[in-house]
Amino acid sequence: MLVEKLENLKQEILAEIDKVDYSLRKTLTEIRVKVFGKSGHLTMFSKGMRELSAEERPKVGSLINSVRNAIEERLTAKEKEFENLELNERLEREKVDITEPSKGVLKGAYHPILDVTDKLMDICVSLGFSVVEGPEVESDYYNFEAMNIPKNHPSRDMQDTFFINDNILLRSQTSAVQAREMETRKPPFKIICPGKTYRNDSDSTHSPVFHQLEGLVIDENVSMADLKSMLTNLMKRLYGEDTTIRFRPSFFPFTEPSIEVDVSCPSCHGKGCTTCKGTGMLELLGAGIVNPKVLEMSGIDSKKYRGFAFGFGLDRTAMILNSINNIRYLYRNDIRFLNQMK
């Protein structure tokens, strides 16, 4: 009796599948639920096997599987048939006439940060620098101590750091790459280190993730005059020959003496505007002569060699070059903003 019911169910469902028209293709889903769902016909047969004797179960179970496979194959074949029909219909509807005149190609553009990074790297490489990279997940030693910033040093209060544990952190400056390179390279050498950095800081001009490009020169008889000459050359090539450069004394633990570098605002050319807050000048980067302690910690003879270092905030540089007043625009992927960068 059960075997007959299963066979009748099979024939009934197969016939029902064959009758389904393409315009009613969603009916296949209803049939699938009716047969295989929680309360489906075949599901109920499977649940009823517990009432059968041990001798009947293998035969009935085999038959249920046979019916299931037959219905599943027919459903799959029908669904595939409808998929092909739908694809052909779509291809016909979306057919493109390749003989029509072209409407033109929309050209993309570099992201402002990538653009300014490439420009600075090209300038520095033309000045003899090599490009090096390092890990973004860094040790406390390379990020701080090797830069003359020991534990509990007050300068650590100047930057809120993302610590993973007591010794591992997300680097807050690409200076860590310089520390690693000084341990392995023999002077003289000139390197730049571009990359992402991380600090717990967020407002219209700061982001928790930002980009830096730092440079380092180690050689004999390096002086502040060399640093100022190189930075003047670099700034004029980046911002234009009419750019005014201003050097101010400052403090960094890893350089002594240290300077801040300002440039005339490229938006108003020093006349004063909203970009430069009416001052006509923009603070751009920090630099200085490498502290002898940093050289000695890296195994470089500070009595024979000297060095200078400088560091750009690439996000800020991109904002200045493109007159962007909010750093968040650089990370929103807003197509209206990106179209303006072409």
Torsion angle of alpha carbons 67, 70, 73, 74, nearest 10°? -110
Question: Which among 177, 259, 248, 178 has a CA at the least distance from the CA of 218?
Answer: 178
Q: And the tokens for 208?
A: 């928790």
What is the torsional sign of CA 316, 318, 321, 327?
Answer: negative
Please calculate the CA angle 19-20-21 and round it to the nearest 5 degrees. Answer: 110
Query: Cβ contacts of residue 250 below 8 Å, gap of 6+?
Result: 258, 259, 260, 286, 288
Contact criterion met (CB below 8 Å) for 297 and 253: no
DSSP 178-213: HHHHHHHPPSSEEEEEEEEEE-S--BTTB-SEEEEE
Q: 6 φ, ψ to 5°?
A: -65, -40
* Three-state secondary structure call for residue 292: helix
Distances (CA, A) of 201 to 46, 176, 198: 62, 20, 9
Distance CA 104, CA 62 (A): 63
Distances (CA, A) of 180 to 32, 55, 142: 63, 76, 7
Question: Which among 30, 29, 32 has a CA at the least distance from the CA of 68?
Answer: 32
Query: Cβ contacts of residue 313 below 8 Å, gap of 6+?
Result: 210, 211, 212, 285
Q: And the tokens for 39?
A: 């309360």
Distances (CA, A) of 258 to 79, 154, 186, 200, 309: 73, 17, 24, 25, 9
Contact criterion met (CB below 8 Å) for 113 and 196: no
User: Which pLDDT value is given to residue 205?
Assistant: 63
* Three-state secondary structure call for residue 150: coil
Distances (CA, A) of 150 to 138, 140, 146, 244, 299: 15, 9, 8, 37, 17
Contact criterion met (CB below 8 Å) for 249 and 258: yes
User: Which pLDDT value is given to residue 139?
Assistant: 94
Question: Which among 232, 239, 237 has a CA at the least distance from the CA of 259?
Answer: 232
Question: Which among 201, 202, 204 has a CA at the least distance from the CA of 325?
Answer: 204
Per-residue pLDDT for the chain (342 aa), expressed as one digit of tens each? 677 777 888 888 888 888 888 888 888 888 888 888 888 888 887 877 777 777 777 887 888 888 888 888 988 888 898 889 888 888 888 887 778 777 777 777 788 899 999 999 999 999 999 999 999 999 999 999 999 988 887 756 555 788 888 889 999 899 999 999 999 999 999 999 999 999 887 766 677 889 999 999 999 999 999 999 999 999 999 888 888 899 999 999 899 999 999 988 877 777 777 777 778 888 889 999 999 999 999 999 999 999 999 998 898 888 888 888 788 888 888 888 878 876
Partnered with residue 54 across adjacent β-strands are none
Question: Which among 39, 50, 52 has a CA at the least distance from the CA of 2?
Answer: 52
- The label of the residue with tokens 């997300």 reads 170
